[in-house]
Amino acid sequence: MIDPKFNGCCKCWAQAKGDRHIYQELLLTSTCTSEEIAGKSAKKCSVCGRKTLHAKSGLCKNVSCTMFNGTFRENNVEKNELNKIKENK
């Protein structure tokens, strides 16, 4: 499980008041936006322009961003996956 203090959903973590079991339950039903996941003190991502850089990890939490979670993505496909596809041709 992602450590919520460092890269998880800031909104759900705050609602769970630090209880990991409640946090996991909240994640199952969560409809949090990328900004809510990143947290109130999130910074603006220089790639997508949204305030989605996670407050603790600094990783972009916008799934549409090419730098989602710090991994370069082309058309929302991780670069590693693209390389695997290319290798199998």
- Spatial distance between the Cα atoms of 38 and 68, rounded to a whole number of angstroms: 12
Element (H, E) at 50: none
What average pLDDT does this structure show over 38-63? Answer: 90
pLDDT at 73 (0 to 100): 55
How distant, in Å, are the alpha carbons of 3, 35, 37, 71, 82 from that of 66? 23, 16, 17, 8, 13
pLDDT at 78 (0 to 100): 47
pLDDT in tens, 9-49: 999 999 999 899 999 999 999 899 999 999 999 999 988 99
Q: Which two tokens stand for residue 54?
A: 């996670």
pLDDT at 77 (0 to 100): 47
